[in-house]
Amino acid sequence: MPQMKKTREGFGRALVELGRDNPDIVVLVGDLTDSTMVSFFAKEFPDRFIEMGVAEQNMMTAAAGLSLVGKIPFLATYGAFATCRCADQIRVTVCYSDLNVKIGGAHGGISVGPDGATHQALEEIAMMRVLPNMKVIVPCDFEETRKATLAAASIWGPVYIRFGREDVPCITDANTPFEIGKGNILRQGDDVAIVACGVMVHEALQAAETLAQKDVEARVIDLHTIKPIDRHLLIQAADDCGAVVTAEEHQIHGGLGGAVAEVLVRNRPVPMEFVAVDDRFGQSGNTVELMSVFGLTADHIVSAVNKVMARKTAKVY
Amino acid sequence: MERHLSVDRQSMLAAETTTMTRTNPYRLAIDQLTIKSLELRRDIITMLVEAKSGHTGGPMGFADIASALFFHEMVYDPKSPKWPGRDMWFFSMGHMTPIHYSALAEAGYFPLKDLMKFRKLDGHLQGHPSCLDTPGVEVSSGSLGQGLSIAFGAAYGSRMDGHPRRVYALLSDGEHEEGSTWEAAMAAGHYRMDNLCAIVDYNNIQIDGHVEDIMGLAPLGDKYRAFRWNVIEIDGHDITAIIGALEQARHCKGRPTVILARTVMGFPVSFMFDNFEWHGKPPKPEEGDRALAELGTSYAEWSARLLEN
C-alpha cells in the first residue's frame, strides 16, 4: 500500500517554498487558513499573508489588484466558492485582464465526504476551462500538487489548481517530471487508454491491474493539466489504443472527459466512455461510500473499459 | 512570461521610482482646469456622435473630477504608462469610457484622433475598457462592483512595498447596490488603507431611474463612516472643492477616504441635465450639434481638432 498524504498539504508546503524564494509571493485566504493548509505560509510569512474574511469576491479582485503592483497572489478557499461564487470576478477582472492570479481550490470532488453537496466542488473544471487565458490543473497526489503550485508561480497568468480534502495514495515522487500542459504516461498499454486526473488517477492504475489479469493492457495517462491540454499525447493514445476512457471526480459535462473528447473528435475519433458524476449534486457520506455510490471507483473504470472495448471491436463510434 | 518582472528587475525599477519626481505632469491651475473640463466635454460629445453608441450623461457629469485628477492631482507618465512610480486609478464604472478615454488622450497616452474610433473594430478603444488594448487602462472593467476591491488590493500591495503611490477607485453611486462593493469597503476600513481614495460620482442616476427610487442609498456618508472611512462630501462641479478634497484625503492617516462628489448627469448641457434617459445612449448628430453649441463649438470644428492630433 503506497504512502497516503493530502494534496492540500502539497499546496501548503509549496507556498512556503515559494515564499522563501520570492518576496513577491502573497497569500490570501477566506477564513479557511487551516483547512486549505495555507497556515504554514501564514506562520512563516505573516507580513505576506492576508486574511480576507468570508468575502470571496473581494478576495478574488483584491488578488487582481495585488498582481497589478507586481505581487504573485495565491488565494485559497474551497473550490466551489472560489469558482462559482467569483465567476464574474474571474471572468472580467482576472481573465479578461490576463492577471497573474493563482487560485487554489480546496475540497475538490465528491471525496470531501460528510460536508455534503454545497462543499463538494464538481463543476469547477468546466467553469474554469471555458475562460480565455485561464490554466486548469488537477494534480493526483501530494507531490504533484506541490509541483503544480511551484509551476503555477513560474508562468504568467491566471491558474486554477484543484486539490482534495482526504489523504490519497502517493503515486508520483520527487523525480516524476511535471510540466504544465504535459500529461504523464504512468503505465504503458495499447488496448485502451485511460485518461484520468486527480484522485481518479490512482483508481485508473488499479483498474489497469484488474484489466491486465484479463489480458487487456491499458495505457494510464495522468492528465494533470486540463488546460492547456496535451493534444499530442491524447492523439497518440487514440492512435495506439483505438479506445479511450476518461475518469474524473467532476460532473460528466464539460470536465476532463469533455476536454479530451473535444481534441479527439476533431483529430482521431475513437470510441470513448466517461467515468464521472452523472449530472447530479453530491451528498453527505464517508468518502469510500460516496466514491462507490457516485460511480467513481476502479471497478467503474473497468466496466467502462469493457464497454468501450466492445464498441471498438464492433467498430461502433 | 513577458509580463512578469523578475525580482531583480523590480528592485531596479523601485530604485528608479525613488529618484524620479512624483508629481502630476501638468499641474494645471484652477482656470486652466476649467478649460480642460470644457475640452473633455467636447471630446465626449464628439466621440459619441461618431461612435453612434455609448454612455453620455455620466461621463459629462464626471468631467470636472477627471480634469482635477488627470491634470492636477495624479502622478503618472503618459509616455510610460507602466512607470512603477505612478499613482493608479480604477474606473470601476467601466461604462464611463468616454471620459476615461478622453482624459487619457488629452493627457497624452494616445492620439486624440483615436477617440474617433471609439467602439469601432479598427480602433483600440473598447466600449468598456480593456487593459490589454488601451495604454493607461490598468485593468479591464465593465461589470460593476469590482473596482473598489481591485483598488484595495493595489493599495495593500503598494503599502507592503512602502511605495508612496496613491490609489483611486472611481465608483458610481448605483454600483453600491453590488454587495461586493461593501465587502471591499469593509476590508479597506479594517486594514486602514489610507493610501486608498474612493470617489463616488453621486449623480443619483442609474439606467432605470433615480438611484433613490430604484434602491435607496442615502445616507451614503453614514454608511462609509460606519465602515471606518474618512468621508468628504463636495460639489463635484466645483474644481476648487475637488482639489481641496483630494488634498485632504492625502493627509488623512489611518483610514481610507471616500469623496462623495455630488454631480449632475449631463452637466452642463441643458437637455441632458439630470435626465436618466441620457445614461446609456449617444447623442444623435442634431443633438450633438445642440450640445456642442452650448459648449461653444461645433461638430465640424471639434472633430477636426481631434483628427488633427
DSSP E strands: which ranges in chain B? Answer: 88-91, 167-172, 196-202, 205-206, 209-210, 230-235, 257-262
B18 pLDDT band, cuts 50/70/90, is low
B130 contacts chain A (CB < 8 A)? yes
**Residue B291 confidence (pLDDT):** 98
ipTM score for this prediction:
0.96
B154 contacts chain A (CB < 8 A)? yes
B285 contacts chain A (CB < 8 A)? no
Per domain, the residue ranges of chain A are 4-169, 184-314
As a whole number of angstroms, the distance between CA B230 and CA B259 comes to 9
- Best residue of B16, B183, B193 to probe chain A, by most A CBs closer than 10 Å: B183
Q: Name the CATH superfamily for A4-169.
A: Thiamin diphosphate (ThDP)-binding fold, Pyr/PP domains (3.40.50.970)
In the predicted model, what is the mean pLDDT of residues A82-100?
98
In the predicted model, what is the mean pLDDT of residues A32-59?
97
Asked whether residue B198 carries a pLDDT value surpassing 70, the answer given is yes
Cβ-in-10-Å burial (0-12, 13-18, 19+) of A129 comes to: buried
**Residue A86 confidence (pLDDT):** 97
The alpha-carbon gap from B184 to the nearest alpha carbon of chain A, in Å, equals: 6
In the predicted model, what is the mean pLDDT of residues B221-233?
98
As a whole number of angstroms, the distance between CA A260 and CA A237 comes to 11
Asked whether residue A132 carries a pLDDT value surpassing 80, the answer given is yes
A33 contacts chain B (CB < 8 A)? no
Do A100 and B158 lie within an 8 Å CB cutoff?
Answer: no
The correct answer on CATH 3.40.50.920 for the domain covering A184-314 is yes
**Model pLDDT for residues A217-239, shown as the tens digit of each residue:** 999 999 999 999 999 999 999 99
Do A55 and B183 lie within an 8 Å CB cutoff?
Answer: yes
B8 pLDDT band, cuts 50/70/90, is very low
In the predicted model, what is the mean pLDDT of residues B279-299?
97
As a whole number of angstroms, the distance between CA A16 and CA B263 comes to 49
**Residue B180 confidence (pLDDT):** 97
In the predicted model, what is the mean pLDDT of residues A50-56?
98
Asked whether residue B69 carries a pLDDT value surpassing 70, the answer given is yes
**Model pLDDT for residues A166-215, shown as the tens digit of each residue:** 999 999 999 999 999 999 999 999 999 999 999 999 999 999 999 999 99
Asked whether residue B13 carries a pLDDT value surpassing 70, the answer given is no
Report how many Cβ contacts below 8 Å link chain A to chain B: 121
A58 contacts chain B (CB < 8 A)? yes
**Residue B4 confidence (pLDDT):** 44
Catalytic center residues of A? 56
A97 contacts chain B (CB < 8 A)? yes
**Model pLDDT for residues B140-157, shown as the tens digit of each residue:** 999 999 999 999 999 999
Cell of B178: 453590488
% of chain B with per-residue pLDDT over 90 = 93
Which of these, A13, A200, A30, lies nearest to A122 by C-alpha position? A200
Pairing of strands B88-91, B167-172: parallel
**Which of B4, B155, B183 is closest, CB to CB, to A58?**
B183
Asked whether residue B14 carries a pLDDT value surpassing 60, the answer given is no
Per domain, the residue ranges of chain B are 37-308
**Model pLDDT for residues B25-55, shown as the tens digit of each residue:** 999 999 999 999 999 999 999 999 999 999 9
Asked whether residue B3 carries a pLDDT value surpassing 50, the answer given is no
**DSSP class per residue in A186-252:** EE--SSEEEEE-TTHHHHHHHHHHHHHTTT--EEEEE--EEES--HHHHHHHHHHHS-EEEEEEEES
**Residue A296 confidence (pLDDT):** 98
A152 contacts chain B (CB < 8 A)? no
Residues of B in contact with A23 (CB under 8 A): 7
Which CATH number applies to B37-308? 3.40.50.970
- CATH topology identical between A4-169 and A184-314: yes
What does the DSSP 8-state code read for residue A76? E
As a whole number of angstroms, the distance between CA B59 and CA A254 comes to 41
The alpha-carbon gap from A32 to the nearest alpha carbon of chain B, in Å, equals: 17
**Residue A32 confidence (pLDDT):** 96
The alpha-carbon gap from B279 to the nearest alpha carbon of chain A, in Å, equals: 22
Do B151 and A89 lie within an 8 Å CB cutoff?
Answer: no
Phi, psi of A277 (to 5 degrees): -75, 130
- Best residue of B95, B126, B139 to probe chain A, by most A CBs closer than 10 Å: B139
**Which of A23, A99, A155 is closest, CB to CB, to B7?**
A23
**Which of A48, A65, A92 is closest, CB to CB, to B152?**
A65
